[in-house]
Structure 1
Amino acid sequence: MLRDADNDGAHGGDRERARDGDRRPRGRRGPSRRPAETFLLLLLLPALLPALLLGTAAPASAHAVLRATDPADGTVLRTAPRHVTLAFTESVGLLTDSFRVYDPANRRLRTGPAGHAADRSDTARVTLPARLATGTYTVAWRVVSADSHPVSGALTFSVGKRTAAPAALPQDRTENGATTALHTIARYLAYLSLALLLGTAAFVAYCRPPTTAHLRAPALAAAVTLVASTLAVYLLRAPYEEAASPTTAFSLSALTHTATTRPGRLLLLRLALLLLAAVAAVLLGTLRVRLPRRATLAAAAALAVALALTWSASDHASAGVQVPVAIVSSTLHLLATAAWLGGLAALLWTLRRAPGTAAVPPARVPARFSRLAFTSVVVLVVTGVYQSWRGLGSWQALTGTTYGRTLLAKLALVTALLLAAACSRTWTARLTRPAGAAVRARVPEPASGPPLPEFPPEPPPAPPLRLLRRSVLLEAVAAALVLALTTLLTGTVPGRAATESAPSAPFAATGVQTASVITIPFDTGAPGGHGKVQITLDPGRVGTGSLQAVVYGPDGGLATVPELRVTLTLPARRLGPLDTRLTDRGGYWSTPAFTVPLPGTWTVKATVRVSDLDQVTVSAPVRVTR
């Protein structure tokens, strides 16, 4: 019986060591923790690198999508146009060199300054020379969308007839790889440093670790990185918009131009806020003034919200539908992300620096962070659902667009992140469980006495602190992967914009008249009897306009046919067919005046006769607006 009591005491000592987090080194078990944690850190670094470098090798992808052009891309016009007009899905900013127009000989034309059509910010227009020679012209354009991303492209139109070889797009309008890479790295270093800075502040304010000396160096490094990356983004802003070399970043014209744009002013505001906070911190430290806790928290919260607004007011939330609500949602989303991911980094640093003889304070700190992380997750879910709806616009875009598929992958990783967070929360709850009453050894009783009372079951031992460290590391790995997919989403056209974009659609939403162009392939079945016919209805709306048609042969060049007949039918109203009565103009067919009486989806039928015996009738729909 005494031997049993001694054994119970020994086991009780083992249980006490387990409750203390297995802090006492026993043989080789203590040193074995470092290689495992180092291995997990090595896994974390490759996950962080894609978040900083993804997309640096690809051209910039903006969120203002070209919706329509006038003239339409590839149109053959009877007379030379006076303007080139572009319509986008959101407002755009113009550059000093937004349009470059090249003639059939690939020489650049002198054009008027770029402007907005009919004072609409979602359009861009340039005036062409009064006289244009016959042939194909190339228009290279570049604008800046409302979410601060540049977008560029090119279109062609022909006057009279196409040239044998359309003018090639000059290479000086392509993205500068060095500028794009440097701008992307600086931009996401700013995101990362903001999350670390604000997350560390939230961790100290709410979780109240027993000591904060070990967090001063990471917080200072995050603040310095935030200032440096913001300054780099400002310097690279003009070269990034103009697709120029990074060496032009320090020119006076580039710096002054950036200061006149909304993204540039917000970057300057961010630098001013950081400078003001640094000066205030230095003065308080020099004068040894200690502000009340509530005043300090209020000032820190105001600074955090102001810094977050410098992002949300210049990114995707600043364009599209419900802009005020979107800016509030984006600001809350960014603050919650910083509190969770930045606080997670601070917790990881605290656990690694936790003293081996004081397990209770570190156990209480993860418990507080668990509540902070749960609140952040709730905010992220609510704001994330709203931003997903705003970016997608429809359920079809969830699987039918690149943005939607990337979002699904991000949701899967967020689910894995929540599972890792649940594991951390479980370890935290077990670490903070109050210790049970001390277990006393059994005392021998007389054989004739009452039976010994049953002792309550022993609670399971608390997990070692190293298990919580590893769980937090796994959570950080999942968070880094989520950040990498977020990087991809910021460079992907939202599903709503991708769905709404229609290059050949009329300018109904912008009030600018444009042509509707359709191309219909045909094949008579005879040798050399195939090709395509391009039909242009100008303008593509109700009323009187012109209709032109061009026939292309098997080699893609202009083809001459003995007869071409085009009719329009409106099946929904049982109207038609209306004969357009085309006339051969020597290379193309046209009618100067044709009236479309009603809006709707018309069916265009083209009968192409390529010889005395071979002809075919083909059809395609065309949308006519009011």
Structure 2
Amino acid sequence: MIRFLLALLLLWVPLPALAHAGLIEVQPEDGARLETAPPEIMLRFNEPVTPISLRLIDSAGREQTLAPISAGDILRAALPAALPTGAYTLSYRVTSVDAHPVVGAVVFGVGVSVEAGGDPAQMAGGGLMAASMILRAMANAATLVLAGGMLARLLLGPTAALRSLTGLALLAILGHGAGVWLQGGVLLGQGIVGLLSVEAWRLGSASTRGPSFVVLTLGVVLLTLAGRRRGVILAGLAAVFGAYLLTGHAASAPPEGLAKPLLALHVAAAGFWIGALPILLRALTKPGAAALLARFSRWALGLVPLLVLAGVGLSLLQGLTPAALIDHPYGRLLALKLALVAGLLALAALNRVWLTPALAAGGSAQPLRRSIWAEGVLVIGVLLVTGVLSQTPPPRAEHHHDSAAKAEGFSSLTPLGDRLVLLALTPARPGDNRLRVTVTDATGSVRPPLEAVAYLSLPAAGIENLRRPLAREGTDFIADIALPMAGVWQVQVDLLVTDFEKRSLSAEIAVR
């Protein structure tokens, strides 16, 4: 049954062609002919990305690794000075906020004409991605049986016994830990061989899967050691269910203030249902099973509608429409998941209306046992589909070259001695603007100055030297600036690199 479901999923959804982050703008453009070499390249995506590699390859196959600077959804990198005449391919590999790798390439020519031959952004992974999906489903099963079982024990009372806590904890931790490692291999893009490198674990840990794994491990350990201490159990449940809010496109869907609570509710309600199944099976071997089943049924009657409503809410946030249930890969997967959930609901109704009352009246437990086992099989199917859904871009992620998504504002990457300075003004229009300065070394490592001050002038209007100190915000320096009118503004930024060294850069910015 599991093999059949997995084969169906892999045939139905063409995994290698999927992409989560989409490239919406690149400079130079794909297929562009430039008479002089550009000083930098810029790539803008439809969501924030983290660079893995950025390479420039000439027509002879010679390769140079570039040092990108990441600023949310924009990557910039300085190009080597005085590129010779010829055709060049810019190859990029990034990871999106849901920890999935996206690869692509663009082609441009310096002094020569070229055809647009770059590949659009695609999600990479192949066999490692499929292995990651299966492993995630298995690890999620162990996690939800453990956490959901502990939640069920809290709600159903002391007669709800959960066995094999240590075994479930080990499966959950090892499964999710191996998932971080596999995800790093997917990000690295070197197949099975890449898994042998430390870089695979580093990339996986640096993605959103890494922090999620740390929080989940803490929660699993707390649940394993909690005994019947209610406070420790609640802390463990909060950590385990909270870990699912740190990674994946469901948790990152805008607005996050709505998506994250919906996801937490969805995971907790699903965990209660899944975790209760082994408890109910074990209870059927003991007296008083009917009373436990009745308590479960009362809780399920309230939680199942919340589970469904949260799922519908998350689907709407992903941009899903009724037509997408047929036309879109994500929608077809969701339709399959809904069909499996409908089967679970039908079995739950059968248990509540007929089988549980029959057991309470002294009937055999065998029909109810078979029904619960059938629920378990459907749960496995739901988890497998969910594993593939987690690697499938929802409709909201597919915004390519939309004119509304075009870049606003000004930005430039300027060499300054042994440093590179990214200067950005957004939206570069009259009124409120934000000035951002990021300083790195030649390798792309951030090297923030001690202090940064901007001076803005508009000579045509007689405006001279508006002084604006920049405040540090993370690795950047930020200033909110109100520009009174349009025109070509002159911007000078003074950087205090050390206590004894100050460097300055200037730029002209068209404000329209």
TM-score by length of 1: 0.58
Measured after TM superposition, the shift of residue 99 of structure 1 is 0.9
How many residue pairs get matched?
413
Aligned to 1:302: 235
2:18 aligned with 1:71: no
Query: Residue 139 of structure 1 aligns to which amino acid in structure 2?
Result: L
Contact 1:102 1:167 in 2 (8 A): no
Report the CA distance between 1:419 and its aligned residue.
1.6
Structure 1 position 226 matched with structure 2 position 177: no
Query: 1:244 Cα shift?
Result: 3.2
| 1:403 maps onto 2:360 in alignment | no
1:138-191, Cα deviation, whole Å (9 max, x unpaired): 222111111121211222223344459x9898xxx9956564344334322221
Paired residue for 2:43?
Answer: 86
Cα distance, 1:408 vs structure 2: 2.8
Is the contact made by 2:19 and 2:123 (CA closer than 8 Å) also made in structure 1?
no
Alignment of 1:413-492 (within 5 A): 413-431=340-358, 463-492=363-392
Amino acid at match of 1:486: T
- 1:502 aligned partner, one-letter code: H
Cα distance between partner residues in 2 of 1:229 and 1:53:
21
Displacement after TM superposition at 1:432 (Å)? 6.0
Equivalent in the alignment of 1:114: 68
Q: 1:332 offset after TM fit, Å?
A: 1.6
Deviation at 1:211, TM superposition (A): 7.2
Instruction: State the alpha-carbon separation in 2 of the partners of residues 370 and 194 from structure 1.
Output: 22
Does the CA contact (< 8 Å) of 1:424 and 1:471 recur in 2? yes
How far 1:122 moved relative to its partner?
0.9
1:68–1:506 CA contact under 8 A, matched in 2: no
Q: 2:294 aligns with which of 367, 373, 383?
A: 367
Task: Choose from 185, 193, 206 the match for 1:239.
Answer: 185
Q: Aligned partners of 1:158 and 1:378: how far apart in 2?
A: 58
* SS of alignment partner, residue 464 of structure 1: coil
AA paired with 1:74?
G
Whether 2:133 is the aligned partner of 1:184: answer yes
Over the residues paired in the alignment, what is the CA RMSD in angstroms?
3.7
Give the 3 Å change call, closer, same or farther, for CA 174–479 of structure 1 in structure 2: closer
Alignment check: 8 A CA contact 1:51 1:480 kept: no
Distance 1:185 1:84, change over 3 A: same
Partner of 1:216: 163
Deviations 1:455-501 (A, max 9, x none): xxxxxxx6532222222233333333333322232121111122xx2
Indicate if the aligned counterparts of 2:266 and 2:307 stay in contact, CA closer than 8 A: yes
CA contact (8 A) 1:55 1:491 kept: no
1:200 Cα shift?
2.1
Q: Which amino acid aligns with 2:83?
A: L
Cα distance change on mapping 1:511 and 1:398 into 2, 3 Å: farther
Which residue in the other structure is 1:148 paired with? 99
Aligned-partner Cα distance in 2 for 1:50–1:79? 52
Letter in 2 for 1:104: S
**Using a 3 Å threshold, how does the CA distance of structure 1 residues 253 and 185 change in structure 2: closer, same or farther?**
same
The answer to whether the 8 Å contact 1:66/1:87 transfers is yes
- What 5-or-longer segments of structure 1 have no aligned partner? 1-42, 285-290, 436-461, 514-541, 543-625
Q: Give the number of the structure with larger relative contact order, counting CA–CA contacts within 8 Å between residues 6 or more apart.
A: 1
Aligned-pair CA distance for 1:504:
7.1
Distance (Å, rounded) in 2 between the aligned partners of 1:48 and 1:350 = 30
Residue 265 of structure 2 aligns with which residue?
Answer: 332
Distance 1:56 1:504 in 2: 25
Q: Is the counterpart of residue 315 in structure 1 residue 252 in structure 2?
A: no
1:261 Cα deviation after fit: 4.8
CA contact (8 A) 1:179 1:244 kept: no
Letter of the 1:385 counterpart:
V
One-letter code aligned to 2:143? L
Name the CA distance, whole Å, in 2 between partners of 1:267 and 1:149.
16
Judging changes above 3 Å, is the alpha-carbon distance between structure 1 residues 336 and 60 closer, same or farther for their aligned structure 2 residues? farther
Is the 2:45–2:73 contact (alpha carbons within 8 Å) kept by the matching residues of 1?
yes
The 8 Å contact of residues 68 and 505 in structure 1, kept in 2 or not, is answered as no
Distance 1:415 1:265, change over 3 A: closer
The residue type equivalent to 1:263 in the other structure is: R
Say whether the 8 Å CA contact 2:160–2:283 is kept in structure 1: no
Residue deviations 1:324-345 (CA, integer Å, cap 9, x gap): 3211211221111111122124
> Within 2, Cα distance between the matches of 1:188 and 1:305?
20
Q: What is the Cα deviation at residue 302 of structure 1? A: 2.2
The amino acid that maps onto 1:115 is I
Query: How far apart are the structure 1 equivalents of 2:309 and 2:136?
Result: 25
Aligned with residue 138 of structure 1, among 76, 79, 89: 89
Partner of 2:153: 204
* Bigger mean CA offset, 337-346 vs 387-396: 387-396
- Opposite residue 232 of structure 2, the aligned amino acid is A
1:101 aligns with 2:45: no
Alpha carbons of 1:471 and 1:112: their partners in 2 closer, same or farther (altered >3 Å)? closer
